[in-house]
Amino acid sequence: MPIVTVRADVDVDLNEFDDQDLIDELEHRGYKCVDETMAHIFTSQEREIVLSLLDSDFRNWEHRRLREKLLSM
């Protein structure tokens, strides 16, 4: 899943909204919001290596959970 960072100009004062309200609205529209500080823990090559390791030893729900987290980064 690719990561897309978007910066936008809007016609409303965003200070009127809580961050969680904006996140909830975006996720309700089908977007996935992630913390930027967590998105770059692995380089793309390291991420692919870890995903391939998880795919080759895909035996329990913990592997599945970690794989889904990595895919959302």
- In this predicted structure, what is the pLDDT of residue 32? 79
Residue 34 domain-assigned?
yes
**Residue-range definition of the domain harbouring residue 53:** 16-71
Query: Is the pTM higher than 0.95?
Result: no
Residue 2 lies in a domain: no
What is the tally of structural domains in the chain?
1
Q: Which of 46, 57, 59 is nearest to 73 (CA)?
A: 46
pLDDT digit string (tens) for 47-70?
Answer: 788 878 777 766 777 777 777 877
CA–CA dist 60, 56 (Å, integer) = 12
Q: Is 4 contained in some domain?
A: no
CA dihedral 58, 64, 70, 73 (to 10 degrees): 150
